Amino acid sequence: MNLAAGTDIGGSPSIGQGMALATTAPKDLERALDAHHAWMQGLDGGVRLDLSYSNLNGIDLRGRDLRMAILKSSSMTNVNLTGAAINSAQFSNCDLREANLTDADLTGAELKEVNFEHCHLAGASLSEATVTSCNFQTAVLSGAKLLDAKLNQCNFTKAVMKATVLQHARLFDCDLSEASLEAALFNHARIRLCRIKESQASEANFSYSFMDNSDFRKTQLVQAKFLKANLSGGSFCWAALSNSDFRESTLRGTEFSGAVLFGVRFAGATLTGADFRGANLAGARELTSHQMTKAWTSQDTVLPNGQRGVYLKGSGAERPVPSSLQTA
């Protein structure tokens, strides 16, 4: 049922015409929701919900059933969708600024060019959703689940994503700059050409992920986990990485200029072409001479033993000494 074009359930005049947004009367919306519920149940008289070109600003839809609904070019600013079932719905070119989707279920939804700026999505599920060219700038997604989601060219600048779950998600050309990503889970994610610079991501977990050519410059990554991750061609310049875990990771051509790597674990990591020129490796652990000879160092590099300079094979500078372990 499209409440903004054609006729409503009872054949009365349409609420709106063409591209003009129609303000939906509460009683008409209730009738449409009831018909949609009947359609979902396979009952006679049921009609799929279509709220395209509608003005739903400020509407209270808490806990309502919008599964498989269609919304195109609708305005839904300040709408309350707390706990709503929005599974497999189709949103296109909609405005949901400052909407409340706390604990909403958008599993499998198709979201294209939707504006979620300042939205509350804490605890929401976007697992298996396809999200394209959407704006989540300054949105709150703490504890949200985006397992196996596909995120293409989305803007998460300054979003709050603490403990957000993105395991097995695919992110392409997304911007997470200045986002709060503390304790976020990116295990097994595939992250390509993404910008995660100047973000707060301490204790985030990127283990087993594939993150080629991604930008982590000036990001706080203290105690972050990158176990067996592929970070080839990425940049961690000026990042804070103290006590992070890069064991068995692939760091081919990865840049660490200016990064602080105190106490970082590198056992089994591939460092061919990794650039530590100007990096602080004081106290870095589990490095071997073979690994260090494959990486770039310079006179400005602080080596694991606390000495400054180019790494020389056989010097033993790959091993931290007690003095360097005591200073962060």
pTM: 0.89
Residue 164 and residue 181 in contact, taking contact as beta carbons nearer than 8 Å: yes
**Which pLDDT does position 301 carry in this prediction?**
98
The three-point CA angle 140-141-142 to 5° equals 100
What is the sign of the dihedral through the CA atoms of 181, 184, 186 and 187?
Answer: positive
Mean pLDDT by 10 residues, the chain (328 residues): 39 34 78 94 94 95 97 97 98 98 98 98 98 98 98 98 98 98 98 97 98 95 98 97 98 97 98 98 97 97 97 95 54
What pLDDT is recorded for position 39?
Answer: 96
Domains of the chain, CATH where assigned: 1-50 (no CATH), 56-174 (2.160.20.80), 196-328 (2.160.20)
Q: What is the pLDDT of residue 321?
A: 79
* Paired tokens of 262: 């105190």
Measured in Å, how far apart are the chain's first and last C-alpha atoms? 62
pLDDT at 9: 29
